[in-house]
Amino acid sequence: MQVMRYFCPRLINEDGKYQSNMILKVSGKKIIGLSREYPTSTDDKYDVVFPSDSIVLPGFIDCHVHLALDGIDFNQSLGRWQDDSLWVPKVKQQLKDTLKCGIVAVRDGSDKAAIGLKAKKLMVAKPVIISCGKAIYQKGRYGTFLGHGITNINKLKQVINDLAAAGINQVKVVASGIVSFNQYGKVGGPQFDLDFFKEIVNEAHRKGLRVMTHASGAEAVETAVEAGVDSIEHGFFVKKDTLRKMSQRGIVWVPTVIAAGGRLNFNRPAENRDVIEKTVNEHLERISWAKDAGVTIAVGTDAGAPGVPHGKSFVKELRYLSQAGLTNEELIKAASETGAAVLEINQLGSLAEGKSASFIVTRDNNGGIVGMAENISDVYHQGRRIS
Ligand SMILES: [Zn+2]
């Protein structure tokens, strides 16, 4: 197989450190070598020489998307689900937009039609997709568009069995409603009591499946954490004490700030701008508490939700996390290495020999990772340049 040698004036290595004059050797989809070149070398030794002011980063990872939704119109998205000729081109475009923004893997947070799972199986040129298929929620509560409503524990085993057989990678549980955008502090209530929740988590873990949990509101997040879930998604109004437990137990937080912030671009009569702003600010403060408590924070956008387009929302989430106080180094880690760990993909998350050749070429104009995410010139995924 042909070996490609890329000369990288600067590159962020495995330890998150900036390194100069690096040669990235790629064969097929993999990095087969990463070494330092000394300035005496000439350009013709390389197949590709990246511009002198460029910097190469590991591909980004979005821990929370919904491929079934387009980020603009919820009802129109739903209207496409039953017809492959309608949703396939749309999802293809979304995946393209995602890759273009440097996102080389996504975790799909489910939908009732299992579009995310179908896309994983059907689409060829795409970021790596980790899929939850259909979510588990309490029948009659929030989550009808996301998956399986269940009412009793006896059905649980069957539901998880079926999901596993369908090829899901992780289990998505909807543990609460959503945060209100017109009444500050209001959240749709918790869906499962602790015993029921523990059964869900235990059943998923018995199958070797991690549990990704939609939870907002102090009580729902606390119950999910006590039940032993693997990640908390959204987590609006999480308590300080719950964050401490998350830190101790290694439960990851995917705060999806842009899921609320993205609403500011939508002038919906039923939604109140001040409430959204206040909710966002409150959330940022909690992220700073989480950082202080040592909680592992990952980047997830909830792309597909109204006001959260696929791909370009990632940098907005990075900016929010930066506002919340995460340092540049912490952001880089959250956007790549932590994301890969959350998605259980050890081929991604950093640039090193043996890993996937999925990387971003950008410029560092002192804006740190946020600026770099805005100035992407090239994306390579599994050895191929994305055009
Ligand atoms: Zn979601």
Bridge-based pairing of strands 231-234 and 3-12 is unpaired
What are the DSSP E strand ranges found in the chain?
3-12, 18-27, 30-36, 48-49, 54-58, 60-65, 103-108, 128-131, 135-138, 147-150, 170-174, 210-215, 231-234, 252-254, 359-363, 378-381, 384-386
| Distance between Cα 2 and ligand 1 center (Å) | 41
Label residue 330 by pLDDT band (50, 70, 90): very high
| Distance between Cα 215 and ligand 1 center (Å) | 10
Label residue 43 by pLDDT band (50, 70, 90): low
| Distance between Cα 97 and ligand 1 center (Å) | 18
Q: Are residues 203 and 148 part of one domain?
A: yes
Q: Are residues 77 and 25 part of one domain?
A: no
| Distance between Cα 193 and ligand 1 center (Å) | 21
| Distance between Cα 18 and ligand 1 center (Å) | 33
| Distance between Cα 354 and ligand 1 center (Å) | 32
| Distance between Cα 302 and ligand 1 center (Å) | 5
- For residues 244, 247, 252 and 255, what is the CA-based torsion angle, rounded to 10 degrees? 40
Q: Are 304 and 65 within 8 A, CB to CB?
A: yes
| Distance between Cα 65 and ligand 1 center (Å) | 6
Q: Are residues 243 and 212 part of one domain?
A: yes
How high is the pLDDT of residue 39? 62
- For residues 134, 253, 208 and 303, what is the CA-based torsion angle, rounded to 10 degrees? 30
Q: Are residues 360 and 336 part of one domain?
A: no
Q: Are residues 238 and 126 part of one domain?
A: yes
Cα gap 362→369, rounded to integer Å: 10
| Distance between Cα 6 and ligand 1 center (Å) | 37
| Distance between Cα 345 and ligand 1 center (Å) | 20
| Distance between Cα 326 and ligand 1 center (Å) | 23
| Distance between Cα 210 and ligand 1 center (Å) | 16
How high is the pLDDT of residue 263? 92
| Distance between Cα 235 and ligand 1 center (Å) | 11
CA atoms within 13 A on the CB side of 246: 32
Q: Are residues 102 and 50 part of one domain?
A: no
125 or 113, which is more confident: 113
User: Containing domain of residue 53, as a range?
Assistant: 3-59+350-386
Q: What is the mean pLDDT of residues 219-242?
A: 98
Q: What is the mean pLDDT of residues 338-357?
A: 97
Q: Are 280 and 263 within 8 A, CB to CB?
A: no
| Distance between Cα 243 and ligand 1 center (Å) | 20
Query: How many separate domains does the chain show?
Result: 2
| Distance between Cα 103 and ligand 1 center (Å) | 17
| Distance between Cα 11 and ligand 1 center (Å) | 33
Label residue 42 by pLDDT band (50, 70, 90): low
| Distance between Cα 221 and ligand 1 center (Å) | 15
Q: Are 81 and 358 within 8 A, CB to CB?
A: no
| Distance between Cα 241 and ligand 1 center (Å) | 24
Q: Are residues 308 and 182 part of one domain?
A: yes
Q: What is the mean pLDDT of residues 243-255?
A: 98
15 or 375, which is more confident: 375
Q: What is the CATH number of the domain that holds 21?
A: 2.30.40.10
| Distance between Cα 247 and ligand 1 center (Å) | 22
| Distance between Cα 116 and ligand 1 center (Å) | 12
| Distance between Cα 361 and ligand 1 center (Å) | 29
Q: Are residues 323 and 293 part of one domain?
A: yes
Q: Are residues 7 and 66 part of one domain?
A: no
Label residue 270 by pLDDT band (50, 70, 90): confident
Q: Are residues 297 and 194 part of one domain?
A: yes
* Tokens, residue 329: 């180094």
| Distance between Cα 259 and ligand 1 center (Å) | 8
Q: Among the listed ranges 3-12, 139-148, 326-335, which one has the minimum average pLDDT value?
A: 139-148
How high is the pLDDT of residue 154? 86
Q: Are residues 162 and 192 part of one domain?
A: yes
Q: What is the CATH number of the domain that holds 174?
A: 3.20.20.140
User: Is pLDDT at 16 greater than 90 in this prediction?
Assistant: no
* Tokens, residue 121: 């199986």
Cα gap 64→322, rounded to integer Å: 18
DSSP 297: B
| Distance between Cα 359 and ligand 1 center (Å) | 26
How high is the pLDDT of residue 265? 80
Cα gap 277→274, rounded to integer Å: 5
Q: What is the mean pLDDT of residues 370-380?
A: 96
| Distance between Cα 307 and ligand 1 center (Å) | 13
What is the pTM assigned to this prediction? 0.97
| Distance between Cα 209 and ligand 1 center (Å) | 18
| Distance between Cα 108 and ligand 1 center (Å) | 8
Q: What is the mean pLDDT of residues 311-321?
A: 98
Q: Which residue type occupies 185?
A: G
Q: What is the mean pLDDT of residues 41-45?
A: 68
Q: Among the listed ranges 26-35, 173-182, 264-273, 298-307, which one has the minimum average pLDDT value?
A: 264-273
Task: Return all residues near 376 (Cβ < 8 A) that are at least 6 apart.
Answer: 100, 101, 102, 360, 361, 362
Closest CA to 289 of 327, 242, 329: 242
Each residue's pLDDT tens digit, 281-303: 999 999 999 999 999 999 999 99
| Distance between Cα 20 and ligand 1 center (Å) | 39
Residue 41: φ, ψ to 5°: -70, 160
| Distance between Cα 15 and ligand 1 center (Å) | 31
User: Is pLDDT at 266 greater than 80 in this prediction?
Assistant: no
User: Is pLDDT at 141 greater than 70 in this prediction?
Assistant: yes
What is the chain's mean pLDDT, rounded?
A: 94
For the chain, give the percent of residues with pLDDT over 70: 98
Q: Are residues 196 and 148 part of one domain?
A: yes
Q: What is the mean pLDDT of residues 23-39?
A: 91
User: Is pLDDT at 41 greater than 90 in this prediction?
Assistant: no
Cα gap 191→147, rounded to integer Å: 14
CA of 182: how far to CAs of 186, 303, 330, in Å?
A: 9, 21, 33
Q: What is the mean pLDDT of residues 311-317?
A: 98
